[in-house]
Amino acid sequence: MAGQNFLFVPGPTNVPARIQRAMMVPMEDHRSPKFPQLTLEVIQGLKKVFKTEKGTPILFPSSGTGCWEAALTNCLNVGDKVLASRFGQFSHLWIDMCQRLGFEVELIDVEWGEGAPPDRYLAALEADKQHKIKAVLVCQNETATGVTSDVPAIRKAMDSVNHPALLFVDAVSALGSIDFRMDEWKVDVCVSGSQKGLMLPAGLGVTCVSEKALAARQTATHPRCYFDYLDMVKNNATGYFPYTPSIPMLYGLKEALITIEEEGLENILARHTYLAGGVRAAVMEGWGLKLCAKAPQWYSDTVSAILVPEGFDAAKVIARAYTRYNLSLGAGLSKVAGKVFRIGHLGDLNELMLMGAIAGAEMAMLDMGIPVEAGSGVAAASAFWRNNQVQARAAA
Ligand SMILES: *Cc1c(COP(=O)(O)O)cnc(C)c1O
């Protein structure tokens, strides 16, 4: 097919050409005296993205899912209780992993389209007088429904009852595009991956652990081996890895961190808010459709899940967009399959790239008989972006 594919799944995201080029490297000896420079540089650079001075970034050769497993197996004992909320496919999968690894999950089930409820976390923590709950899990940005949760509010709930549990946050589709603050929010493990806000291919599990999480690792007895934090931390201290790292991914990450530094993290976060505003204008004001996210407090700045009207199949819109217009939209997962299509708006993006996604989604919906007005989404996004600008954020 002539022209380019328009990649608007919420991960993998577009990899900028300069990062692609940075990854085209000959292989080298990962035990050489020169190698530590690269390791130490990327780990240091990641601290800024996590907003941490005390935390330790760790890179596993995995996707984000591996870092979910690392958090659980490094810090907990078999059978420990964790508190978690489920409101979409990703929060569901982390809970499913907890159960498969032998943890007991105290579940806060929430309707898909809403976020993590701080009041229900508080009630569960308050009732847990004996501190049986060892970890509190939150999915900061539920990519399946386009819902962002209030992580500081969960931390506040924990603090208000002096609960000693660890706080684990899934920031896979938030880190580097929605504000995340490791130290200020006292997060113990932040789980992320390379293929979303960091603008890289999948293949690096990007995580950060607090001093408290590393202390828990010293006594936690759940079996773990490949994903052992201590093997990593020990080797990383001198710039090496306990096993062969993906060298191109590390060079790509180095370039991604330079790219982020050049634009400025706060500017990037602000750009995501601004771009998301245009997409939401297209969906709600232009097409007259609804988001899966039920209220503005939950609207995600990195992904919008768009409900197609009753009686239509969102999967057909996605298929039409791909086969006819070379546009990749995100699928509806699990409970919302057929009901939503998703536009990912994170990473290396600008207004006109997103116009491609909006125009293409609109054409595909019209082709499937969905009664949206031709040009209405594009017009609404155009008005939004022409009348707004990236709002500078104060450095956090
Ligand atoms: C993408 C994603 C994951 C899974 O990450 P993989 O890299 O595919 O393993 C987990 N949680 C959220 C919120 C995600 O968006």
CATH of the domain at 337: 3.90.1150.10
Instruction: Give yes or no for a contact between 70 and 224, defined as CB atoms under 8 angstroms apart.
Output: yes
pLDDT of residue 351: 98
Domain identity same for 381 and 268: yes
Q: Ligand 1: distance of its center to the CA of 205 in Å?
A: 10
State the total domains in the chain: 2
Domain identity same for 234 and 281: no
| Average pLDDT by stretches of 10, the chain with 396 residues | 94 98 98 98 98 98 98 98 98 98 98 98 98 98 98 98 98 98 98 98 98 98 98 98 98 98 97 98 98 98 98 98 98 95 98 98 98 98 97 75
Domain identity same for 108 and 204: yes
Name the residue of 65, 94, 207, 334 to mutate for ligand 1: max ligand atoms within 8 A of Cβ. 65
Q: Which of 239, 262, 285 is the last residue of a domain?
A: 262
Closest residue by Cα to residue 218 from 7, 28, 75: 75
Domain identity same for 283 and 209: no
Whole-Å CA distances, 173 to 23, 176, 197, 346: 22, 8, 7, 8
- C-alpha 356/C-alpha 87 separation (Å) is 30
pLDDT of residue 396: 63
Instruction: Give yes or no for a contact between 125 and 136, defined as CB atoms under 8 angstroms apart.
Output: yes
pLDDT of residue 366: 98
Give every CB contact of residue 301 below 8 A, 6+ residues apart in sequence: 148, 177, 178, 269, 272, 273, 275, 276, 345, 346
- C-alpha 201/C-alpha 224 separation (Å) is 26
pLDDT of residue 1: 77
Name the residue of 62, 94, 96, 143 to mutate for ligand 1: max ligand atoms within 8 A of Cβ. 143
Q: Which of 262, 292, 323 is the last residue of a domain?
A: 262
- pTM for the model stands at 0.98
Closest residue by Cα to residue 318 from 303, 308, 331, 309: 331
Beta strands in the chain (DSSP E): 6-8, 56-60, 81-86, 104-109, 133-139, 141-142, 147-148, 166-170, 189-193, 205-209, 290-291, 303-307, 327-329, 340-344
- Domain carrying residue 320: 6-12+264-387
Atom of ligand 1 nearest to the CA of 141: 13
Domain identity same for 210 and 137: yes
Q: Ligand 1: distance of its center to the CA of 371 in Å?
A: 33
In a domain, 396, yes or no: no
